Amino acid sequence: MVTVAIIGKTNVGKTTLFNAATLLNAEISTYPFTTREPNVGTAYVCDACVCGELGVEDNPLNSTCIDGWRYAPVRILDVPGLIKDAWVGRGLGNRFLSVIGQADALIHVVDASGSIDADGKIAGPGSGNPVQDVMDIENEIEQWITEIVLHNRQLVLREEASTTTEEALAKTLSGIKARTPQVAQALRDSGLEETPFEGWSPEQTLKFSSVLLPLIKPTLIIANKMDLHAAEENIELLMEYYSHGLVAACSAEAELVLRRAERMGLLRYTPGQEKFRMAEDAELTPEQQRALHYVEERVMSKWMRTGIQQALNTLVFKLLKVNMVYPVAEESTYSDNHKNVLPDVHLMPEGATPLDLARDVHTRLAENYILAIDAVTGMRLPKDYTLRHRDVIKIMTQGRRRAR
Ligand SMILES: Nc1nc2c(ncn2[C@@H]2O[C@H](COP(=O)(O)OP(=O)(O)O)[C@@H](O)[C@H]2O)c(=O)[nH]1
Ligand SMILES: [Mg+2]
């Protein structure tokens, strides 16, 4: 399961974003992932469902289809505000940082309206420095990774004796999901390839960590609170400063207002779409009227959308390079063995093969795997085929056991 962590300073809107992202009117009731932990929830990424181009009516099970858009679940974590020196264990720093370690990708929320000071306390709009806020948080995480490397120095050295530096480091950093190719790239990009690990200074270790971070945790910066006037200038500054990364202008509060109103039946709103439509019989309180008017005026008519759903989609599909793949058992009807049409969608990492898909569906399916068929063309796929976005795949297995 793809895991996304929401990070940022206090009061930037992380929890508002978490609440909005985890609220979908067509939530998936059969979805096995449930948790009682606070701050862990299910968010959704979406793209055009293949049901449209295949001309079929679908019966989604592990995902949902709203107006021709397929929404697939991802795990989302709301990491409470990191404070300065979290990496040395200040506050609950280390605990929060280890949550970040579990994530495949990060959403870094920043208050683009500049309404918080350097410590995350509410201040007058325009007084804060969002560019610095992003750097502060990144610095905490880089210091924390550095600390892990320094703390495990002996272990890396021992490991290195029987393998390579990149493998030894990757093994030590496997808890934060670093893999050997990423470590190797970080060694090259930080210019440390030729420097023996044994002689690394703390500064060189920090350099390595800061180059490694974006490789192991693809990050999207959310310039939040764009509904406030003071945000406009800062959004420009953020985009300029982080021109190498992605910055999305968003309003988490507006998204939350719309999803809550949709849940209450007051309007029709499909997350990610550019419009909302009032329900015909909706009776709004003056307060609800004001809130929706504000969203229309300050967000939808100005920016076209709240930006939240696009941000999640961009992070997962573009930065993490995950593909939506539909496994089916009957290629003629695109259904499972119970006549459910296009029941499931799986989020597969870049480079995954049909066998990886089989494994993701069920270990038994992988054990009995023979070959895969492109259900749309009916063609048998080569052994080394890598799955593409929106593939519909039938997996052939041996014996009586069949693909679902
Ligand atoms: N104007 C505006 N306020 C927002 C937005 N998102 C969050 N807020 C407000 O910012 C404050 C802090 O939000 P919260 O989600 O608790 O921040 P967290 O500490 O990062 O979890 C709350 O008063 C929210 O209502 C937004 O998009 N626009
Ligand atoms: Mg919060």
Give the per-residue SS3 of 356-367.
HHHHHHCHHHHH
Residues 394, 375: Cα–Cα separation, whole Å: 6
Q: Are residues 334 and 293 in the same domain?
A: no
Q: Is the pTM of this model over 0.85?
A: yes
CB count in 10 Å sphere of residue 383: 10
State the pLDDT at residue 358.
Answer: 96
Q: What are the backbone angles phi and psi of residue 251, rounded to the nearest 5°? A: -135, 105
Cβ of 211 less than 6 Å from ligand 1: no
Helix H or strand E encompassing 222:
strand 219-224
125 with 259, same domain: the answer is yes
Residue 275 vs residue 324, higher pLDDT:
324
Ligand 1 pocket, 249 CB below 6 A? no
Q: Check residue 26 and give its pLDDT.
A: 67
Residue 186 lies in a domain: no
Q: Are 310 and 372 part of one and the same domain?
A: no
Backbone angles phi, psi at 39, to 5 degrees: 70, 10
Determine if ligand 1 sits within 6 Å of the CB of residue 306. Answer: no
Question: What local confidence, expressed as pLDDT, does residue 28 receive?
Answer: 62
Tell which of 297, 320, 343 closes a domain: 320
Asked if 157 and 197 count as a contact pair (C-beta separation under 8 A), the reply is: yes
Domain count, the chain: 2
The alpha carbon of 39 is separated from its chain's Cα centroid by a whole number of angstroms, namely 15
- With respect to residue 160, please indicate whether it lies within any of the assigned structural domains: no
Residue 249 lies in a domain: yes
Q: What is the pLDDT of residues 164-182, one digit of tens each?
A: 999 999 999 999 999 999 9
**64 and 113, same structural domain?**
yes
Q: Please, what is the average pLDDT of the chain?
A: 91
Residue having the nearest C-alpha atom to atom 24 of ligand 1: 13
Q: Mutation test of ligand 1: which of 253, 258, 300, 305 has the most ligand atoms closer than 8 Å to its C-beta?
A: 253
- Cβ atoms of 111 and 9 within 8 Å: the answer is yes
Residues 140 and 44 in one domain: yes
CATH of the domain at 351: 3.10.20.30
How far, CA to CA in Å, does 270 sit from each of 13, 25, 74, 274?
Answer: 22, 9, 18, 8
Q: Is residue 192 part of a domain?
A: no
- Taking residues 140-157, report their average pLDDT: 95
d(CA 196, CA 194): 6
What domain range includes position 372?
326-397
Q: 328: Cβ–Cβ under 8 A, 6 or more apart, which residues? A: 334, 335, 336, 342, 343, 375, 392, 393, 394, 403
The finding on whether 270 has its CB within 6 A of some atom of ligand 1 is: no
Per residue in 91-143, pLDDT tens? 667 777 888 999 999 999 999 999 988 888 888 888 899 999 999 999 999 99
pLDDT over 70 at 288, yes or no? yes
Q: Is residue 70 part of a domain?
A: yes
Tokens of 288: 């609800």
Mean pLDDT, rounded, for 10-15:
93
In a domain, 170, yes or no: no
| Mean pLDDT of the 318-337 span | 96
Give the pLDDT score at 36.
Answer: 52
Structure tokens at 253: 């509060």
* Ligand closest to CA 294: 1
Please tell me whether residues 304 and 363 are part of one structural domain. Answer: no
Q: Can you give the pLDDT at residue 221? A: 97
Do the domain assignments include residue 235? Answer: yes
Note the ligand closest to the C-alpha atom of 13.
1
Statement to judge: residues 234 and 378 lie in one domain: no
Nearest ligand (C-alpha, residue 17):
1
Would the pLDDT of 41 be above 80? yes
* 19 pocket-lining for ligand 1 (C-beta < 6 Å): no
CA distance 321 to 389: 9
Q: 239 with 224, same domain?
A: yes
Q: List the single range of 68-77, 250-259, 335-344, 392-401 with lowest mean pLDDT.
A: 392-401
Supply the residue whose CA is at minimum distance from atom 14 of ligand 1.
13
Span from the CA of 253 to the centroid of ligand 1 (angstroms): 7
Pick from 96, 91, 128: nearest CA to 12: 128
Question: What would the mean pLDDT of 271-279 be, rounded to a whole number?
Answer: 87
User: Is residue 332 situated within a structural domain?
Assistant: yes
C-beta separation of 381 from 98 below 8 A? no
CB contact set of 63 (below 8 Å; sequence gap of 6+): 28, 70, 71, 72, 73, 344, 345
Q: Report the separation in Å between the CA atom of 10 and the middle of ligand 1, taken as the mean of its atom positions.
A: 9
Q: Which of 320, 350, 368 is the last residue of a domain?
A: 320
Q: For a substitution probing ligand 1, which of 11, 117, 226, 251 has the most ligand atoms within 8 Å of its CB? A: 11
Q: What own/partner pairs with CB < 8 Å and gap ≥ 24 does 163-170 have? A: 165/196, 165/197, 168/197, 169/197
Tokens of 375: 């259900």
What dihedral angle (degrees, nearest 10) is formed by the CA atoms of 355, 360, 364, 367?
A: 30
Q: What is the CATH number of the domain that holds 78?
A: 3.40.50.300
* Residue 400: predicted pLDDT: 55
Single residue among 320, 348, 377 that ends a domain in this structure = 320
**Nearest of 152, 150, 143 to residue 87 by alpha carbon:** 143
Q: Which contiguous run of DSSP H or E holds residue 95? A: helix 93-102
- Which residues are close to ligand 2, an ion, with C-beta < 5 A? 14-15
Average pLDDT, integer, range 12-20: 94
pLDDT band at 32 (very low <50, low <70, confident <90, very high): very low
Taking a C-beta distance cutoff of 8 angstroms, is the pair 380, 373 a contact? yes
Q: For ligand 1, atom 11, which residue shows the shortest CA distance?
A: 11
Are 61 and 109 members of one domain?
A: yes
Q: 345 and 224, same structural domain?
A: no
pLDDT tens digits for range 216-253: 999 999 999 999 999 999 999 999 998 777 999 999 99
| Residue 306 Cα: closest atom of ligand 1 | 27
Structure confidence at residue 399 (pLDDT): 72
Q: What is the pLDDT of residue 88?
A: 76
Q: How many CB atoms sit inside 10 A of residue 359's CB?
A: 15
Burial class (CB in 10 A: 0-12, 13-18, 19+), 13: buried
Reported confidence tier of residue 75, pLDDT bands at 50, 70, 90: very high
Residues 242 and 351 in one domain: no
Cβ-contact 232, 303 below 8 angstroms: no
Instruction: Mark whether 272 and 361 lie in a shared domain.
Output: no
Residue 16 Cβ < 6 Å to ligand 1: yes
- Identify the residue whose C-alpha is closest to ligand 1 atom 23: 11
Q: Is the CB of 228 inside a 6 Å radius of any atom of ligand 1?
A: yes
